[in-house]
Structure 1
């Protein structure tokens, strides 16, 4: 028996490869399926099952393409109603894989079809659970993503409480827990950085598994403080339920190299969004006017999904030369299939062609300190989360969290110099590029963000519930 976790940090997502006696199963695969196919060929095994724990909201699964390419059977738990051929299991059903068994534990709550797969080894001993978004390390799945069903989020949270206590907590303490996500995912609130654990340790440390927790208290704790999910979540659920374009075709379309003239013409003719994925410190110096900066080396896909609501919007890519395929692939992971090409040669080619460029003025935190000493009424916008802002912020700064930034544009003055900062500089450059594209000209980005500003003498304060929020 072989069990391998295939963890993708940028999505905080765990897929799983399970093998026994010449047969393999893949659980919750990413959209790019080549690594799974290559692994099966290298191991000389046949992929028998592609197991889905639920209809994922935060990424497009590779189950449809992988089943077509390998001949494997797509498997869902009870209540799933996909628009393509798949095997819908019964609660308690056992699936044979070589010499081992995968038992279906229907665990609704995160979604109605959410299912945990219990792996029994060659001797029949319970070995591990693949819990999807039902149980995380340190947390459980949020119950609001399926609240458009006939059930409210409180009713779904109640189902989750029942699922955990009737299906998962009775299992032995030495059973391993392999979840679909880790810290950084928007599918839960308090996930830990570890990507697996024993169930016994989770019973001791996970707030949601406390033995004295009542159903009512569980519902309150699980639903308290939930932020609105990114806008692309329901669109990804739809793609995972109904099917999607083949990843090979998406890559072929997106990896069209365009000269500066062709790139400019495509932008003008299609109305495509120009997405610049370079580092913020490179973007600030020179960029194509009206382009949006979301750096590939940051929390790229979730920010794209949060700030670009239309999955069918044509996208043109500006990237560091050699990273174009990575960008198109990571966009496709979250359902952005309409990339129509990239700038061949990157910004250097654009500048050599004498095309128009724009800049964002950036200053060090010490320069902000000097400016503040001269004018205590500087317009400073803090784009961190409300919780970050509440823990400590500049006394005069207004909070416009980046995840809701499009809702706050009207409150930011166009005719005054506006200073932008986040925690380290990644999010503030995204905000600056959004403002630039909407005609704001008097913008100053603070390099190093609040981490650098904290070392200055500019007055700071803290409170739990920020009230100066635009």
Structure 2
């Protein structure tokens, strides 16, 4: 028997490969199928099942493509109603895989169809649970992601269901069982996840706030529903895609998205298709020369989640600028969160664009020590802190304005196009995204602070915790 966690850091998502006696299954696969097919081929195994723990909100599953290519059966838990062929398992049903068995445990709470899969080895011993978004390491799944689908299924109702699932189906299992969750720290599917991606159930009973033995149902509901921020706008769209199916294959999306376009052709497609140009190079390269109107969202950080947060139309035509050899990676990462309409990339990159005599712009930047000296002399300067509200409240430079990147589309009108703004985040990634979006919308007087709060905190600038936000004029 083999168990392998296939972890994708950009989405903080864990898929799983399990093999026994030449038969394999995949749990919660991402959009691309190649890694799973190659992994099974390495063991000379046939993929028999594709197990889905629930209809995912934070990514588009690859179960349909994978099933089409391998003949594997897609399995959902009780109450699931997908718009395509799948086996809807009953609570307690046993699935055979080689010499081992998988027991289906219906664990509603994150969603109504949420299911945990219990692995039983060839000796009949309960070894591991694959919990999806029911139980994380240090946390549980948020119960507010399906309330807009059925109004009677409120976060409080789902939290109560989750309490019952954990107490009646999970916590009754042996303490030595290994917990394999669907996500780790950084995912928006929970609020307090650990950086660890596996643990024993017994250890979680000691340290996971939601598994306290003396916790009442009312206390659980209150704690699980407190402090939830609005989910990224693409979440409900991904749920619908996962429920209904009927998607283009990942192979088609990659073929079109990796079309190499010469500068003049790139410019023509940009204009005629009203495409969005995403520059996915590093935050250090982008400001030196970029295409006027292009948006920076670098591949070297949480690329796909930020696209999903900021680009409100999943059908938006997209053109890419990437480092050489990174084109396919960018297309795949976009498709993982439902952005399937990538039309191609700039062949030769920005260098080819310049060689063709086409215009570029540069982003003004300043180092943290130089900014600190300037700010001490001119405390009325307008400084935007692009971190989340919780980060800002934890500690920030006195006098700065909290302007979270997450809400830039709704907050942008509060800024004055005639004012000069200095922008920082934690390390420089989000502030560069912020600056590029504002530039594309006609805000010209912007200066990015290199190194962000990490660099600013090392200067002599006074810092504070929460204070009433300044008005954005």
Counterpart-to-counterpart distance in 2, 1:358 and 1:327: 23
Q: Which residue pairs with 1:61 in the alignment?
A: 61
In the alignment, which of 307, 311, 335 is matched to residue 314 of structure 2?
311
Length-normalised TM-score, structure 2: 0.98
Matched, 1:184 2:151: no
Q: Which residue pairs with 2:162 in the alignment?
A: 160
In the alignment, which of 291, 296, 301 is matched to residue 288 of structure 1?
291
Q: Which residue pairs with 1:8 in the alignment?
A: 8
Give the Å deviation of 1:12: 0.7
Q: Which residue pairs with 1:99 in the alignment?
A: 99
Paired residues of 1:400 and 1:469 also in contact (CA < 8 A)? no
Paired residues of 1:390 and 1:466 also in contact (CA < 8 A)? no
Paired residues of 1:382 and 1:398 also in contact (CA < 8 A)? yes
Matched, 1:437 2:436: no
Give the Å deviation of 1:460: 2.1
**Range 369-378 or range 345-354, more displaced:** 369-378
SS in 2 for 1:3: strand
Note the alpha carbon deviations across 1:35-57, whole angstroms, 9 max, x for none. 11122222111111000000011
SS in 1 for 2:288: coil
In the alignment, which of 454, 457, 464 is matched to residue 457 of structure 2?
454
Matched, 1:323 2:326: yes
Length-normalised TM-score, structure 1: 0.98
Instruction: Count matched residues.
Output: 469
Give the Å deviation of 1:457: 2.5
Counterpart-to-counterpart distance in 2, 1:370 and 1:207: 44
SS in 1 for 2:185: coil
SS in 2 for 1:408: helix
SS in 2 for 1:297: coil
Q: Which residue pairs with 1:123 in the alignment?
A: 123
SS in 2 for 1:284: helix
Q: CA RMSD in A?
A: 1.0
Give the Å deviation of 1:456: 2.1
SS in 1 for 2:278: strand
**Range 278-287 or range 154-163, more displaced:** 278-287
Note the alpha carbon deviations across 1:86-138, whole angstroms, 9 max, x for none. 00011111111111110000000000000000000001110000000000000
1:312-351 to 2 correspondences below 5 Å: 312-351=315-354
Give the Å deviation of 1:469: 6.7
Give the Å deviation of 1:360: 1.0
Counterpart-to-counterpart distance in 2, 1:22 and 1:135: 30
SS in 1 for 2:19: strand
Counterpart-to-counterpart distance in 1, 2:461 and 2:207: 40
Q: Which residue pairs with 1:139 in the alignment?
A: 139
Q: Which residue pairs with 1:171 in the alignment?
A: 173
Q: Which residue pairs with 1:418 in the alignment?
A: 421
Give the Å deviation of 1:184: 0.6
1:200-349 to 2 correspondences below 5 Å: 200-243=202-245, 244-349=247-352
Give the Å deviation of 1:396: 1.2
Counterpart-to-counterpart distance in 2, 1:368 and 1:431: 18
Q: Which residue pairs with 2:72 in the alignment?
A: 72
Give the Å deviation of 1:2: 1.1
In the alignment, which of 372, 378, 381 is matched to residue 378 of structure 1?
381
Counterpart-to-counterpart distance in 2, 1:339 and 1:180: 28
Counterpart-to-counterpart distance in 1, 2:452 and 2:42: 47
Q: Which residue pairs with 2:31 in the alignment?
A: 31
Give the Å deviation of 1:387: 1.0
Q: Which residue pairs with 2:200 in the alignment?
A: 198
Unaligned runs of 5+ in 2: none
Unaligned runs of 5+ in 1: none
Counterpart-to-counterpart distance in 2, 1:180 and 1:408: 33
SS in 1 for 2:284: helix
Runs in 1 of length 4+ with deviation above 3 angstroms? 465-470
SS in 1 for 2:285: helix
SS in 2 for 1:266: helix
Counterpart-to-counterpart distance in 1, 2:470 and 2:100: 58
Q: Which residue pairs with 2:400 in the alignment?
A: 397
SS in 1 for 2:141: coil
SS in 2 for 1:53: coil
SS in 2 for 1:281: coil
Paired residues of 2:401 and 2:469 also in contact (CA < 8 A)? no
SS in 1 for 2:438: helix
Give the Å deviation of 1:373: 3.1
